[in-house]
A and B are shown apart, each in its own frame.
Chain A
């Protein structure tokens, strides 16, 4: 079975090629080519998984509990596919957005390092393997965030680095303790052992606590999110877009995975905790965003808020709740990345992202204005766009799960999201630009075809996801059913 490992091998192949090729022009072309291949491959995996339910690959033909297993169920195939779309769009965008010096210094090599880590984490069927892919992803992201070595970047990088390393220590200590107790690292095998031992090891299983804390730091949930808004606005916009779309979502993916495999045995203990993590992230993220006056900082705080929606979807722990969470995750990855791409264009034009000095961007280029409108109001949840369906599904799932209060909080948070998005819209695109003392002569507006292509790709995906929400939701529902049916997963991996 070469299909699953090839999603990891393709980025790896590019990394080797990038070392061999000197010209940054050629490297860019090959990067787009490889990102396209990755998209085609993941869509093939998605089709295959949809047909057969699950795919697995045993590395080195060592059978399941002993060897390293790669597993793709509907949830991971969906995540793979969405991240491939984002990756392709950001790659096309980066060709023009990232400056020449960074491109020459092998920007794409490290970006593909992130892709390799992300693809690996979505497929990992082994908990230590998941840790290794996290580290691959982290190393690449450490380099990207400090790439170029500007002062703000270095500051952001130190904060990002220390807190993410601590989260890795939590995670790996948890793995060590869990292995000592259970004698296995394969997730399916572990899930089976948890199911057999019933309430053993104990309610307050320390390794699971360590896992949840580790993933909550990675996913920027409420008490652990401080690294995110302190670092995400420092690197070049294309890098932020890539991080916003992929990195925190991998943390949330892992949280959903361990919750559905292990934590649900101790539901009465974990459910309220996860629920409150979600609610508080949602509310605090959105409220802190309102006081910000930097384009990217507002969006960074919104990442925290929107991750909260996914987590409360998980905490409902019904089929519709999980399906809504998966749908929301997909929608959020695309919309969020696209808002950052538009921020990158504003930065390219004006060299600043301070809302107070920006203005009149809509008259400067209507198309970019429309692109921002689509992605921002998709985040806020306006009807024909994907955000409407995603929020509607979460709220519906909440009411169905008898958690109407939480559904109301989600609605209330939606209002604040709308407020922040309107604030950006008014300040950046609509209001008259504040008069500069040294008035510049109006130059001919530059066009950025590559940047536009990337952003339009994502905007089209948002609209498609909004219009075809029905079929996509049916798929997510099926994915949620697979997630809740742990026995099937265990049987498939071990059998």
Chain B
């Protein structure tokens, strides 16, 4: 399971980087969202995954059951990261919308006014 997840994360990163290098702003934004989810999965995987180990302790649990429990902290961290990611997604899409309204272009190559010459 770890191996599959690791390969999957690698694929997500590859897809994210590929999308970020595109010219269209929409694709760059999609790339950012993919990268943010790949990062969430890294936290999940690095924290150690266990099959059917719940992240809480049942009432009156034995000590043996505690070792079968998965670590709740990475899950809490991912939850925080997902919420932050959601806020950023909302903002970045609004920004894109406004940018399109003002300039009527999707092309990142048009973003050259602020560059240093």
Q: Which residues of A pack against B, CB within 8 Å?
A: 128, 132, 135, 139, 142-143, 146, 149-152, 154-159, 161-162, 165-166, 169, 172-173, 175-177, 179-181, 185, 229-231, 233-234, 288, 292, 297
Q: Flag if B39 contacts A172 (CB, 8 Å).
A: yes
Q: Flag if B28 contacts A155 (CB, 8 Å).
A: no
Query: B84 contacts which chain A residues (CB < 8 A)?
Result: 132, 135
Nearest B-chain residue to A230, judged by Cβ: B114
Q: Flag if B42 contacts A173 (CB, 8 Å).
A: yes
Q: Flag if A165 contacts B36 (CB, 8 Å).
A: yes
Q: Flag if B20 contacts A162 (CB, 8 Å).
A: yes
Is B55 an interface residue, CB under 8 A from the partner? no
CB proximity of B2 to chain A, nearest CB, Å: 11
A245 to B36, CA, bound (A): 28
Nearest A-chain residue to B96, judged by Cβ: A158
Q: Flag if A175 contacts B32 (CB, 8 Å).
A: no
Q: Which residues of B pack against A, CB within 8 Å?
A: 20, 25, 28, 32, 35-36, 39, 42-48, 73-74, 77, 80-81, 84, 87-88, 91-92, 95, 98-99, 102-103, 111, 113-116
Query: B99 contacts which chain A residues (CB < 8 A)?
Result: 154-155, 158
Q: Flag if B74 contacts A179 (CB, 8 Å).
A: yes
Given contacts A151-B113, A158-B99, contact A180 B46 (CB under 8 A): yes
Q: Flag if A155 contacts B111 (CB, 8 Å).
A: yes
8 A-B interface contacts by CB (under 8 A): A132-B80, A139-B91, A159-B111, A165-B36, A176-B43, A179-B77, A180-B46, A230-B116
The 3 closest A-B pairs by CB, nearest first: A180-B46, A176-B43, A176-B46
Additional 18 contacts, C-beta under 8 A, given A143-B91, A162-B28, A229-B116: A135-B84, A146-B98, A149-B98, A151-B103, A154-B98, A156-B114, A158-B25, A161-B95, A162-B32, A165-B92, A172-B39, A173-B39, A175-B77, A176-B74, A179-B77, A180-B45, A233-B114, A288-B116
Q: Flag if A179 contacts B102 (CB, 8 Å).
A: no
Q: Flag if B91 contacts A230 (CB, 8 Å).
A: no
Q: Which of B20, B111, B114 has the most CB of A within 10 A?
A: B114
Query: B111 contacts which chain A residues (CB < 8 A)?
Result: 155, 158-159
Q: Flag if B114 contacts A231 (CB, 8 Å).
A: yes
Nearest B-chain residue to A149, judged by Cβ: B98
Partner of B116 from A150, A157, A297 at Cβ < 8 Å: A297
CB proximity of B50 to chain A, nearest CB, Å: 13
Given contacts A162-B20, A162-B28, contact A146 B113 (CB under 8 A): no
Please report whether the interface of chain B is mostly helix, strand, loop or mixed according to DSSP: helix
A151 to B73, CA, bound (A): 43
Query: A172 contacts which chain B residues (CB < 8 A)?
Result: 39, 43, 81
Q: Flag if A152 contacts B113 (CB, 8 Å).
A: yes
CB proximity of A436 to chain B, nearest CB, Å: 24
Q: Which of A128, A149, A176 has the most CB of B within 10 A?
A: A176
Q: Flag if B73 contacts A139 (CB, 8 Å).
A: no
A146 to B81, CA, bound (A): 23
Query: A180 contacts which chain B residues (CB < 8 A)?
Result: 45-48, 74
A165 to B33, CA, bound (A): 10
CB proximity of A91 to chain B, nearest CB, Å: 24
Q: Flag if A234 contacts B39 (CB, 8 Å).
A: no
Partner of A230 from B43, B46, B115 at Cβ < 8 Å: B115
CB proximity of A74 to chain B, nearest CB, Å: 30
A165 to B88, CA, bound (A): 9
A159 to B112, CA, bound (A): 10
CB proximity of A267 to chain B, nearest CB, Å: 26
Q: Flag if A179 contacts B39 (CB, 8 Å).
A: no
Q: Flag if A155 contacts B113 (CB, 8 Å).
A: yes
Partner of B95 from A146, A230, A231 at Cβ < 8 Å: A146
Query: A162 contacts which chain B residues (CB < 8 A)?
Result: 20, 28, 32
Nearest B-chain residue to A207, judged by Cβ: B46
CB proximity of B20 to chain A, nearest CB, Å: 7
Q: Flag if B39 contacts A176 (CB, 8 Å).
A: yes
Q: Which of A150, A180, A181, A229 has the most CB of B within 10 A?
A: A180
Q: Flag if A176 contacts B95 (CB, 8 Å).
A: no
A180 to B74, CA, bound (A): 9
CB proximity of B8 to chain A, nearest CB, Å: 15
Partner of B88 from A139, A150, A175 at Cβ < 8 Å: A139
Query: B35 contacts which chain A residues (CB < 8 A)?
Result: 165-166, 169
Nearest B-chain residue to A166, judged by Cβ: B35
A151 to B77, CA, bound (A): 37
A121 to B1, CA, bound (A): 36
Partner of A179 from B47, B80, B92, B114 at Cβ < 8 Å: B47
A154 to B35, CA, bound (A): 22
Nearest A-chain residue to B44, judged by Cβ: A176
CB proximity of A37 to chain B, nearest CB, Å: 28
A156 to B91, CA, bound (A): 15
A288 to B115, CA, bound (A): 13
A150 to B25, CA, bound (A): 18
Given contacts A179-B47, A180-B48, contact A234 B87 (CB under 8 A): no
Q: Flag if B36 contacts A169 (CB, 8 Å).
A: yes
